[in-house]
Amino acid sequence: MKILANDGIDPIGKKMLEDAGFLVDTNNIPQDELPTRLQEYDAITVRSATKVRKALIDACPGLKLIGRGGVGVDNIDVDYAKEKGIGVYNTPASSSLSVAELVFSHLFGGVRFLADSNRKMPVDGATKFNDYKKAYAKGIELRGKTLGILGFGRIGREVAKIAIGIGMEVLAFDVFPFNPEVDVVLGGGYVAKVQVKTANKEDIIANADFISLHTPFVDKPLIGAEEFAAMKKGVGLVNCSRGGLINETDLISALDSGKVSFAALDVFDNEPTPRQDILSHPKISLTPHIGAATNEAQERIGVELASLIIQHFKG
């Protein structure tokens, strides 16, 4: 049984599969070569880079399993694969904490201008030190502010836990019913059960000091000119979820007008070639789609994915 881990797999997960008798190939095959070369394998695991669409599935009638190391399965035609009898698995719980921590990396940096400061200080901090000291002296604290979370699945819940832990108010929205109670780990083995406030999308957009997006891919942007117009002046916006959730042209206008104080983006419309005006904007904090890319998360993903594959084939 041969498995192509086309976007890689953690060494622990690879060893688990090999110990179970599978052959695991971690050499990346370019997307355009997959219709031919994937026919040599029984299963494929991917992350966000490799796409497993209908045409590829049709080209590989021997394919028995598709594994996604991560939460979203936007890059896989899941229903079609299942119609063909192919098992499709993902690892929704393994990377939630890593994404949530990145959200707060961006939030803490955004309220203290770290992204722009780190761009400018190496260039002329020695000659404009006092100018920058004055320019970046109007930061704010997160404690006591309201964080609106659009999308309250596993990652949204982890974001809420951190927010509550640092003293923020949380407003949560999801299109599906959800349990508003979260377990907040306080340290020393103590866990507090906290009820978050639920709200609709419009209330969050109108009342939140900061908004974090955690929804699946959508056909049109969730946040555009109309939503920006309804937001509080000085709001901060974070997207560590999916490219396309924010209209990037409208975002730049909102940043330039001061309606949005800062934005933080881990995902973009045109990956892997984001717009230059987004990349160079002084009020945008940037990371290259690394939400789940921590050592701990990748190990958890590898172990979970390997376990699912072994269970599928050996039950």
Q: DSSP letters along 122-158, please? A: HHHTTTSHHHHHHHT-----STT-EEEEE--SHHHHH
> Which residue is it, tokens 């809420």?
160
- The CATH classification of domain 95-286, taken from the options 3.60.15.10, 3.30.70.20, 3.40.50.720, 3.30.450.20: 3.40.50.720
Q: Is the model's pLDDT at 315 over the cut of 80?
A: no
What average pLDDT does the segment 41-52 reach? 96
The C-alpha angle 196, 297, 8, rounded to 5 degrees, equals: 140
Count of CB atoms within 10 A of residue 287's CB? 16
> Which residue is it, tokens 């299942």?
82
Model's pTM, two decimal places?
0.90
- Look at residue 93 in the predicted model and tell me its pLDDT: 85
Where in the chain are the domains? 2-92+295-314, 95-286
- Residue 242 known to be catalytic: yes
Q: Is 38 helix (H, G, I), strand (E, B) or coil?
A: helix
Q: DSSP letters along 182-222, please? A: EEEEEETTEEEEEEPEE--HHHHHHH-SEEEE-----SS-S
Reported as a pLDDT band with limits 50, 70 and 90, residue 218 is: confident
> Which residue is it, tokens 């555009």?
224
- Residue 248 known to be catalytic: no
pLDDT digits (tens, 9 = 90+) for 285-307: 999 999 999 999 999 999 999 99
Out of 242, 248, 281, 300, the active site residue is 242
- Do 2-92+295-314 and 95-286 come out as alike in CATH topology? yes
- Residue 106 known to be catalytic: no
Count of CB atoms within 10 A of residue 182's CB? 21
Reported as a pLDDT band with limits 50, 70 and 90, residue 48 is: confident
Domain 2-92+295-314: give its CATH code: 3.40.50.720
Query: Bridge partners of 146?
Result: 169
Q: Which two tokens stand for residue 75?
A: 């890059």
Out of 68, 157, 281, 289, the active site residue is 289
